[in-house]
Chains A and B, each alone.
Chain A
Amino acid sequence: MLTGRFYEVYFLGRLDEVGVEKLKECVFEATKRGEERVRIRFYVRDGADISYLDELKKVLLENVLLSIVVESRELEKLTEDLESDEGEITLIINEDSPLPDLTRFQKKLRIIRKG
């Protein structure tokens, strides 16, 4: 299953109500496109932090149609992952902290910003 095709969503920042709505929109978009799976990857400062699952359950428990895989990765891995992952990636930025330069990933990146 994990080697199949995924609709990829990366999430930066704290998951709040706004972030949850954006994730729900992504899941809806994936459904509309006929995708079968969504991968949601949270980039976190502390690898042991799973507090995002508390808000994320509003997304997870409403979904019945798609397979969803939730991962967390260290923030430092973001550009490395963007380099290696093929295909389109939706990046939700839900914080105001400075980010690395992402211009070289423009072609495959769809960025959704806070606000």
Chain B
Amino acid sequence: MGRTRFDIILTTDRSMMSNHHGKEFVGFMTTGPAIGMPEKLWMWIAAPKMKVDSLGRPWQAPYALRKLEALLQDKGYNAAVIDPDYVAHHLLDAKILMLSHHDYFALCPPSSEWWLITRKEPVNAKSFRRFMNSLPLAKAKERGLKIIAGGPAAWQWLYRLDLMSRWGIDTVVDGEGERIIIDLVEKVYSGEPLPRYVFVGPSDVPSIEEIPAIRRPSINGLIEIMRGCPRGCKFCSVTLRPLRHMPLELIEKEMLVNVREGVRSGILHSEDVLLYGAKGIKLNPDALIKLHQLARKHWESIAWSHASLAAVKNAEEEHRLISRLREIICSKGQDYWGVEVGIETGSVRLAKKIMPAKSAPYPVEKWPEVVEDAFTIMHENNVIPAATLILGLPEETPEDVVKTAELLDRLKPYRSLIVPMFFVPMGVLKNKDWFTDVRVTDEHVEVMRRCLWHSVRWAEEIIDKFYLREAHLSPLKYLLKMFLSYVKMKVRAYEKKMGLRPIEAEAAPIAH
């Protein structure tokens, strides 16, 4: 390996530093424990290693790490994202180690959900712990290394102070890092003490001009097109940040960074892709058409990270926009695209309490119809959603959960995956065995069963007809189908043992 040293190393563990065989959704397997197979095989499926250069720099890296890497390099710092297998090699020469993660300790859904159901720790947390324990931290700290931890799961360090002490984490940063990170680096370089914890509030988020373009590829070509969301749902922290739409010039620059290094497909990232260029929730069809034409120009295939169901319905009803975007997206041999969407609940009562603007411009009383209409539109246009819903909210009643189950029955004919997320109150997370304190009711079990059978049924078709068609992915496809068969067998046995009536047969798929 080359002997070049880096002053600032940015990294994360293998569960995050992977392109998941070029299939972003497969990465969700890192949120679960290994089921039905050895952990090594599970990790090969979910988070295989990528190629690195002679210095241990990975081909692709999480987008947030790439942003900070670019910012530091733009300011003249000797910084690089390093693959976790090569961090130890660089650590004793480094001044600063920067860490990021979606879910350091598997306390966020869906990791917490799988932990609750299986009573086994998910692989993302195990992988991160293994990574940190493998590093020569004591020696590096003696030499003055400073460690800064950030990312969307930064708050979790407050629940693992023992690990914060053990590994010598100097500072935790919660929030958008572009403004604070240079301040912290300057403190390290001038020998000043670092703060222990920083929460970046809405007034300290970077402006568009302060957000750099990435310099090296992101995982599966993911690039952000906007930050923030105007809907104000109670369960979401993103909505608290100011809305910023990235200019097309910046978006194109980042697309080309990826394409030039062989990442020829991409994911448009936003809390709601359809709100790109919008004024509040009033859609901007021109901006969306231009954005997708740009993506089509540079990418072999296009995906969306997230969209809201209300925007899907509104886009098609008012502007025929989903159909028009389909013409662009599916014009070069691509025949579908994926997106995450939030159902959250089928209860109008609960929707009014926790997310009154989620259905806008439609009245919240129409939320279940909005969901079903949006699913119809997506099914007809080959948009394959992975949908989430929330169980166990403090305001929830058993009747709310029944309404959600009824909505799920109506969604049977629509090609999709539906995953329930369990709300875990912060106070419960204090305990290491927190999952024993979460109360799962009979109504919850009925919703979870519906989600499972719906998703397993559609997953088999999605894998066969859409997602893993490439020849070189055949082994992965085979393993995933084996896994689905294993899950079905286990769940049927459990249902029989518990005397649960089987969920009635799937509705016939809608012809399209």
Q: How far is the CA of A4 from the CA of B204 in the complex (A)?
A: 10
Judge whether A67 and B197 touch: CB under 8 Å: no
Interface code A45-70, partner B: CB below 8 Å = 1, 0 otherwise? 00010110110110011011111111
Contact pick for A71, options B179, B195, B237, CB 8 Å: B195
Say yes or no: A37-B161 contact (C-beta < 8 A), given A2-B183, A64-B237, A67-B199: no
Judge whether B203 and A67 touch: CB under 8 Å: yes
Contact pick for B198, options A4, A61, A64, A70, CB 8 Å: A70
Q: Which residues of A contact B197 (CB under 8 A)?
A: 53, 56, 60, 68-70
| B484 CB within 8 Å of chain A | no
Say yes or no: A71-B196 contact (C-beta < 8 A), given A53-B158, A65-B202: yes
Q: Which residues of B contact A2 (CB under 8 A)?
A: 180, 183-184, 187, 195
| B193 CB within 8 Å of chain A | yes
Q: How far is the CA of A73 from the CA of B192 in the complex (A)?
A: 12
| A36 CB within 8 Å of chain B | yes
Q: Which residues of A contact B202 (CB under 8 A)?
A: 64-65
Say yes or no: A72-B196 contact (C-beta < 8 A), given A1-B179, A54-B161: yes
| B509 CB within 8 Å of chain A | no
Judge whether A67 and B204 touch: CB under 8 Å: yes
Q: Which residues of A contact B164 (CB under 8 A)?
A: 50, 53
Contact pick for A57, options B158, B175, B240, CB 8 Å: B158
| A106 CB within 8 Å of chain B | no
Q: Which of A54-103 contact B (CB under 8 A)?
A: 54, 56-57, 60-61, 63-73
Q: How far is the CA of A61 from the CA of B197 in the complex (A)?
A: 12
Q: Which residues of A contact B54 (CB under 8 A)?
A: none
| B262 CB within 8 Å of chain A | no
Contact pick for A61, options B158, B180, B204, B240, CB 8 Å: B158
Judge whether B204 and A1 touch: CB under 8 Å: yes
Q: Which residues of A contact B155 (CB under 8 A)?
A: 57, 60-61
Contact pick for B203, options A36, A54, A69, CB 8 Å: A36
Interface code B162-195, partner A: CB below 8 Å = 1, 0 otherwise? 0011000000001100011001100100000101
Q: Which residues of B contact A4 (CB under 8 A)?
A: 204
Q: Which of B110-158 contact A (CB under 8 A)?
A: 155, 158
Q: Which residues of A contact B201 (CB under 8 A)?
A: 36-37, 63-68
| B489 CB within 8 Å of chain A | no
Q: Which residues of B contact A72 (CB under 8 A)?
A: 196
- B-side interface residues toward A, CB under 8 Å? 155, 158-159, 161, 164-165, 174-175, 179-180, 183-184, 187, 193, 195-204, 237, 240, 426
A2-B183, A4-B204 are known contacts; what are 12 more A-B pairs with Cβ within 8 Å? A1-B183, A1-B200, A1-B204, A3-B183, A53-B196, A54-B158, A57-B158, A63-B201, A64-B202, A66-B203, A67-B175, A72-B196
A-B contact pairs, 28 of them (CB 8 A): A1-B179, A1-B183, A2-B183, A2-B195, A4-B204, A36-B203, A36-B204, A50-B164, A51-B161, A53-B197, A54-B158, A56-B197, A57-B158, A57-B159, A57-B426, A60-B155, A60-B158, A64-B201, A65-B240, A66-B201, A67-B175, A67-B199, A67-B204, A68-B201, A70-B195, A70-B196, A72-B196, A73-B193
